[in-house]
Amino acid sequence: MTNVAGTVGATVHGMFQDETLKNLYAGYAYQYEQIAAYRSLIAIAEAAGETAHASAFRQSIQEEELAAQQAADLIEPVTRRYVELTTSGEKADR
């Protein structure tokens, strides 16, 4: 379901010049959605006594947090470039 939502979101965002920014925001938000899902899975695994699975989910959270930080690090430089392009009259959607 999240893949479909992401595809639809990217398609809708693609119709506007600020698609790059919107896709960046969506990617950033997606990482935190994944983190939340893994935290829920940890709670479920622990409630079921499956602690081996919980440790794997914790590892996945660390990976998602790294990906979220990488996306966060792009927000300001990409936004600055977007502003440069749009204020100079160039297309900023590529």
pTM above 0.85, yes or no: no
Q: What Cα–Cα distance (Å) separates residue 32 from each residue in 37, 56, 69?
A: 9, 17, 10
The answer to whether 90 touches 43, Cβ cutoff 8 Å, is no
End-to-end CA separation in angstroms for the chain: 27
- pLDDT, position 12: 47
The answer to whether 15 touches 24, Cβ cutoff 8 Å, is no
Number of other residues whose CB lies within 10 A of the CB of residue 57: 19
Q: Per-residue confidence of the chain (94 residues) as pLDDT tens digits?
A: 556 555 555 544 444 578 889 999 999 999 999 999 999 999 999 999 988 889 999 999 999 999 999 999 999 999 999 999 888 887 766 5
